[in-house]
Amino acid sequence: MTTLLTLVVLALVAIAIWQMTKIFELSQLKAENSQIANDSDNNTNGYLLFAFLIFIYGITIFSFWKYSKFLLPEAGSAHGAEYDSLMLVSFIIIFIVQTLTQALLHYFGYKYRGVEGKRALFFADSDRLEFIWTIIPVIVLSGLILWGLYTWTTIMDVNDEDDPLIVELYAQQFSWTARYGGEDNVLGKANVRMIDINKANVLGLDESDTYAADDIIVKELHLPVGRKVNFKMRSQDVLHSAYMPHFRAQMNCVPGMITEFSFTPIHTTEEMRQNPDVADKVKRTNAIRSERAAKGEENSDPWEFDYILLCNKICGKSHYNMQMKIIVETQEEYDAWVAEQKTFGQNVMGQASTDEFKKIETATASH
């Protein structure tokens, strides 16, 4: 809100200055009342072009200096480096082209400004110039497109090679649930029509499917480092998007269908916490939070980095808070965590036994 008010005030100040300038111009007595630009006007506009060029370059340099620290750190997935390289090269090309074209645009605007008695050179066409400004973009864009298609095809090649871990991400307003395939690493059949809250069947698993019995349903995603993970994604209600920024991964979750994505984590959570960029962000964040704590304000607890799963589609009023913590750990730590989790079969049978006991207890009491 403060930023918005600042922008509004700046806009109003600019309008006021402009209006005062017009009043000043109208108040001056001029022998010449022509609306045709003269040499003085053209020179002024030429200098203003150079001033604006300096301004846009200055604001660009300032933005790099001020806001580069907010970029994502090193990718936590195997394909992330290739993704970042493609993005970096694209930005470098865009920056170079923008710098050159803006410099030439403003320079020529000044160099060929109107001068009394000087006529502009006009020619209908130039095959050489048209060839140059057509073939160069074609070559550059073709290279980027081909590289992008190759990278996309590689990233989206979801297969069962290298014994991948199978994990389902289940989206609903406004939370995530993860389901593991259990010991057999095979997910049981599921359908939203089979959801039964009374039996703790929150994902609609088919209780008659033997593959579903050992499935593990959790609210915190654990992944073993160095092992490929194949994600199967579903949505219960509206369109969601599973976004894991630190892994450079995103895939829509569409009601009525299963979408897929695959990646291999290469850094554990603890290793990523030691990353200099991450450590610097944690330090800056906690400095702000300590100031808030000193003032007795909320949201002032110390923050610690964790991988995170977000929803990247505006899915409703609590969309901003739809997230899940991701922990990347060693295979041994992952195995120990899995061993502590109850399977779907244990939860359903436990709930069924409790319900049956309550029925018997109620019947006994009635007699």
- Output the pLDDT for position 22: 75
- Output the pLDDT for position 41: 82
Judge whether residue 353 has pLDDT over 50: no
Judge whether residue 331 has pLDDT over 70: yes
What CA–CA distance (Å, rounded) separates 161 from 159?
6
Judge whether residue 264 has pLDDT over 90: yes
Provide CB contacts within 8 A for 156, sequence distance 6+.
261
User: Alpha carbon 213 to chain centroid distance?
Assistant: 35
- Output the pLDDT for position 21: 79
pLDDT confidence tier of residue 367, bands split at 50, 70 and 90: very low
Judge whether residue 348 has pLDDT over 70: yes
Percent of the chain predicted with pLDDT > 90? 43
Q: What is the mean pLDDT of residues 337-353?
A: 77
What CA–CA distance (Å, rounded) separates 265 from 315?
28
- Output the pLDDT for position 312: 92
What CA–CA distance (Å, rounded) separates 247 from 269?
12
Judge whether residue 365 has pLDDT over 50: no
Summarised one tens digit per residue, pLDDT across range 98-134 is: 899 989 988 888 888 877 777 777 777 888 888 888 9
- Output the pLDDT for position 30: 54
Summarised one tens digit per residue, pLDDT across range 20-51 is: 877 776 666 554 556 676 778 888 888 888 88
pLDDT confidence tier of residue 234, bands split at 50, 70 and 90: very high
Summarised one tens digit per residue, pLDDT across range 176-198 is: 999 999 889 999 998 888 888 77
Query: Which 3-state string (H, E, C) describes the chain?
Result: CHHHHHHHHHHHHHHHHHHHHHHHHHHCCCCCCCCCCCHHHHHHHHHHHHHHHHHHHHHHHHHHHHHHHHCCCCCCECCHHHHHHHHHHHHHHHHHHHHHHHHHHHHHHHHCCCCCCCCCCCCCCCHHHHHHHHHHHHHHHHHHHHHHHHHHHHHCCCCCCCCCEEEEEEEECCEEEEEECHHHCCCCCECHHHCEHHHCECCCECCCCHHHCCCEEECCEEEECCCCEEEEEEECCCCEEEEEHHHCEEEEECECCCEEEEECECCCHHHHHCCHHHHHHHHHHHHHHHHHHHCCCCCCCCCCCCEEEEECCCCCCCHHHCEEEEEEECHHHHHHHHHHCCCHHHHHHHHHHHHHHHHHHHHHHHC
Phi, psi values for residue 178, rounded to 5°:
-110, 145
Q: What's the chain's average pLDDT?
A: 86
Q: What is the mean pLDDT of residues 137-144?
A: 91
Q: What is the mean pLDDT of residues 335-361?
A: 68
Angle at 320 between CA 315 and CA 323, to 5 degrees: 95
Summarised one tens digit per residue, pLDDT across range 265-277 is: 999 999 999 999 9
